[in-house]
Structure 1
Amino acid sequence: MRELTYRGVVYPWHCDHMGHMNVMWYAGKFDEATWNLLSLFGLTVKYMKQENTGTVAAEQRTFYKQELLAGMTVYIKSGIIEVKDKSIKFFHEMRNCDTDEIAAITFYTGIYIDNKERKPCSIPEEIKKLAADFVTSEIPQP
């Protein structure tokens, strides 16, 4: 299942000397989508603070498909590829709202950690069960 996890605008200050959105802003928009995706299955900031846990990105691979310019609107749909004991693999697909063309795709491996120990720990079973509902076989191709 792919879920809408972000919708926004490319502002002029997002653009670099080439006139298109700089890679740092793709990463920022993907990060916002990540927090929205995690919250869909219970990994909210409130939950992680209560449990003294967190998430870290262990790997990120991004593929840029199309330039985005100031004034364009984008949306991101996300899905989970795999849920393991201590990690979740997921993706985000950013699309141009006007053309529906893919602007970028990113793949993440996130690790669940114990904030006190600063080490990976097991994702709680109830969270894994909820996350499993968002696993999809419709994985975008770079």
Structure 2
Amino acid sequence: MEEATYRGTVYPWQCDHVGHMNIMWYVGKFDEANWNLFARLGLTPGYLRDAGRGMAAVQQNISYKRELLAGDIVEIRSRLLEIRDRSIRFQHEMHNAATDEIAASCEITAVHRDRNARKSVLFADAIRTAAMAQLAPSAPAPAMA
């Protein structure tokens, strides 16, 4: 399921010396989308604090497609690609809300962690169930010739 997980604006102070949004702000906006996606799965700040859990990104790949300028409205849409016992893989697409063009995409693998033991742990059943319900449909198999 692909839903908006972030909406915001590019501010002039987020732009570099050539007038484009600087790459550090792409990463920051993707990070904000992470927390909205996680909350939909039950990985809320309250759960993470109370259970002594955390999420750690172990791989992040970003593709930049179109520049964003000061004043542009940004929307990030996210989809869960995979859930495993202790990790999830998901994708964000950052759109220019006025044109719906994709400005950047980001695929992240994150691990569910016990903050005290400092090691990966299984997802709770409720989180797994919520994630399974939100998994994006698989890409169609290539046609055979």
Q: Same fold (TM over 0.5)?
A: yes
Work out the CA distance in 2 between the residues paired with 1:115 and 1:130: 22
Aligned to 1:131: 131
Could you tell me which runs of 5 or more consecutive residues in structure 1 were left unpaired when the two chains were aligned. Answer: none
Work out the CA distance in 2 between the residues paired with 1:132 and 1:91: 15
- Does 2:79 align with 1:92? no
* Runs of 4+ with deviation above 4 angstroms: none
Work out the CA distance in 1 between the residues paired with 2:107 and 2:44: 20
Counterpart of 2:134 in 1: which secondary structure?
coil
Matching residue's letter, 1:12: P
Counterpart of 1:82 in 2: which secondary structure?
strand
Counterpart of 1:8 in 2: which secondary structure?
strand
Aligned to 2:22: 22
Q: Point out the structure with max Rg over C-alpha.
A: 2
Aligned to 2:142: none
Alignment of 1:101-120 (within 5 A): 101-120=101-120
Across the aligned residues of Structure 1 and Structure 2, the Cα RMSD in angstroms comes to 1.0
- CA apart distance, 1:138: 6.7
- CA apart distance, 1:41: 1.4
Alignment of 1:1-142 (within 5 A): 1-137=1-137
Counterpart of 2:47 in 1: which secondary structure?
helix
Work out the CA distance in 1 between the residues paired with 2:53 and 2:133: 22
Work out the CA distance in 2 between the residues paired with 1:138 and 1:83: 13
Identity %: 48
- CA apart distance, 1:137: 2.5
- CA apart distance, 1:102: 0.2
- Deviations, residues 114-133 of structure 1 (Å, cap 9, x unaligned): 00011111111110110111
Matching residue's letter, 2:90: F
Q: How many residues are treated as equivalent by the alignment?
A: 139
- CA apart distance, 1:78: 0.3
Structure 2 length-normalised TM: 0.93
Matching residue's letter, 1:29: K
